[in-house]
């Protein structure tokens, strides 16, 4: 169903772009026809003049110059109007996109993170494949939430408000004067280490993951009797980009049930922009936390984590500040000498 929706969106974008081109062609055709009509009118006027009324060449030249100037002025006016219309259209589309994103934020994104890995081996294998594929298919959504600028290095975070809790999006953007292949070769081991986690993580079901994809990993990090984090990671490669994904399952049917935790996911995209230009875009999502099986509001988070009541703006500031050290650590890891 998700693939069908993506295909439908792609077709809609294609139809919109085709319609836009057709409208622009129609406007240019109209401009050309208007100029041709003016030239035709001038030609008929000159042809209709009798020999006795032939104008001096100077007056004819001046008349043609004035007519041309009028036509050029009209064309410039049309171009200015087209520019204004395009600006209004761009502003309108931007506003619609912002409103759509705001409305979409009424419920947390990436609901598939609330998944449970089955206990039975065959279902477990399918579940790991499905979950990692779903992470990959959510890459565009993650990039949309990150709202990267057109250019420049970025390393920051912001809080997302939902109807029943708050989440956080962190982002990094870097450009390299290297080909995609050179960038990938320089970074793949560093990214692999980040995806594998620290010494507290234990890789599990390695035979199952290897049978799906050599890059697929499943690791478990024990926090306490209330929470164990189940990470699933994978690498997806295409001729013009490489996508590394990492997300945590809510539950593993072979393990005690989690009552505490938070949905998290990470996407790292290497996109070849030109033969010697590659862009890295990194997005990390942390959803609303759960305590004893209940999702916390931001006020409840303050009481639990900070032990005090604070204004929303201060909560957001602290939430963002808590992500920055790890984000800067990742930024340093992505630097290529």
In a domain, 33, yes or no: no
pLDDT digits (tens, 9 = 90+) for 64-108: 777 766 766 676 566 555 545 544 444 444 334 443 344 444 566
In a domain, 294, yes or no: yes
pLDDT of residue 133: 97
In a domain, 9, yes or no: no
| Token pair in block for residue 290 | 């759960």
Band of pLDDT at residue 46, cut at 50, 70 and 90: low
In a domain, 87, yes or no: no
- The pairing of strands 165-176 and 154-162 is antiparallel
Contact 286, 167 (CB under 8 A): yes
Strands (E), 60-200: 116-117, 154-162, 165-176
pLDDT of residue 171: 98
In a domain, 200, yes or no: yes
Q: What are phi and psi of 125, to 5 degrees?
A: -60, -45
Q: Tokens 């250019």 — which residue?
A: 151
pLDDT of residue 162: 76
For residue 255, the domain's CATH number is 3.30.530
pLDDT digits (tens, 9 = 90+) for 2-35: 566 667 667 666 666 666 567 667 766 777 777 7
pLDDT of residue 248: 97
Q: Tokens 């081109």 — which residue?
A: 21
pLDDT of residue 98: 40
In a domain, 208, yes or no: yes
> What gap in Å lies between CA 149 and CA 96, rounded to an integer?
18
Mean residue pLDDT of the chain comes to: 83
User: Which of 68-82, 117-131, 274-288 shows the lowest mean pLDDT across its residues?
Assistant: 68-82
CA 20 vs CA 7, 30, 32: distances in Å:
20, 15, 19
In a domain, 162, yes or no: yes
| Token pair in block for residue 228 | 């164990």
pLDDT of residue 29: 74
- The pairing of strands 227-238 and 116-117 is unpaired
What predicted TM-score, i.e. pTM, was given to this entire model? 0.68
For residues 248-278, b (16+ Cβ closer than 10 Å) or e, as one string? bbbbbeeeeebebbbbbbbbbbbbbeeeeeb
Q: If you average pLDDT over residues 292-306, what whole number do you get?
A: 89
| Token pair in block for residue 190 | 């560093």
Contact 170, 327 (CB under 8 A): yes
pLDDT of residue 21: 66
pLDDT of residue 334: 96
pLDDT of residue 32: 75
pLDDT digits (tens, 9 = 90+) for 212-271: 999 999 999 999 999 999 999 999 999 999 999 999 999 999 999 999 999 999 999 999
pLDDT of residue 36: 74
- The pairing of strands 116-117 and 294-295 is unpaired
Q: Residue 282 pLDDT more than 90?
A: yes
pLDDT of residue 111: 87
> CB atoms < 10 A from the CB of 115, how many?
20
Q: If you average pLDDT over residues 190-200, what whole number do you get?
A: 85
Strands (E), the chain: 116-117, 154-162, 165-176, 201-203, 217-224, 227-238, 241-249, 251-252, 264-274, 277-286, 290-291, 294-295
The C-alpha angle with vertex 14 and arms to 13 and 19, in degrees rounded to 5, equals 100
pLDDT digits (tens, 9 = 90+) for 90-102: 444 433 444 334 4
pLDDT of residue 196: 87
CA 312 vs CA 143, 315, 319: distances in Å:
26, 5, 10
Q: Tokens 């926090």 — which residue?
A: 223
The sign of the torsion formed by the CA atoms of 322, 323, 328, 330 equals positive
Domain with 126, as residue range(s), is 116-334
Q: Residue 125 pLDDT more than 60?
A: yes
In a domain, 123, yes or no: yes
Q: Helix (H, G, I), strand (E, B), or coil: what is residue 133?
A: helix
Total structural domains within the chain: 1
> CB atoms < 10 A from the CB of 82, how many?
14
């Amino acid at each position: 169903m998700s693939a069908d929706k993506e295909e439908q969106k792609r077709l809609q974008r294609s139809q919109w772009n085709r319609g836009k081109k057709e409208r622009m062609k129609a406007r240019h055709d109209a401009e050309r026809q208007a100029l041709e009509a003016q030239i035709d009118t001038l030609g008929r006027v000159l042809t209709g003049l009798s020999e006795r009324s032939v104008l001096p060449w100077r007056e004819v030249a001046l008349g043609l110059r004035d007519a041309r100037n009028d036509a050029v002025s009209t064309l410039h006016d049309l171009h200015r109007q087209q520019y204004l219309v395009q600006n209004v259209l761009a502003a309108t589309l931007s506003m619609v996109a912002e409103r759509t994103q705001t409305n979409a934020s009424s419920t947390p994104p990436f609901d598939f993170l609330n998944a449970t890995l089955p206990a039975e081996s065959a279902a477990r294998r399918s579940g790991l494949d499905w979950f990692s594929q779903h992470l990959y298919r959510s890459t565009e959504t993650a990039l949309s939430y990150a709202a990267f600028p057109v250019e420049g290095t970025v390393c920051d975070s912001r809080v997302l408000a939902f109807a029943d809790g708050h989440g956080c999006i962190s982002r990094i953007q870097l450009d390299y004067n290297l080909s995609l292949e050179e960038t990938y070769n320089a970074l793949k081991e560093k990214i692999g280490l980040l995806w594998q986690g620290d010494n507290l993580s234990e890789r599990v079901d390695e035979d199952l993951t290897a049978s799906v994809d050599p890059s697929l990993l499943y690791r478990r990090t024990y926090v306490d009797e209330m929470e164990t984090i189940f990470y699933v990671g994978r690498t997806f490669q295409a001729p013009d980009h490489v996508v590394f994904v990492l997300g945590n399952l809510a539950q593993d049917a072979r393990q005690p049930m989690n009552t505490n935790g938070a949905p998290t996911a990470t996407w790292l995209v290497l996109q070849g922009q030109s033969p010697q230009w590659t862009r890295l875009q990194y997005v990390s999502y942390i959803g609303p936390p759960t305590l004893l099986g209940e999702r916390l509001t931001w006020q409840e988070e303050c009481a639990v984590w900070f032990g005090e009541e604070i204004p929303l703006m201060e909560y957001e500031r602290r939430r963002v500040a808590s992500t920055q050290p790890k984000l800067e650590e990742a930024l340093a890891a992505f630097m290529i000498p």
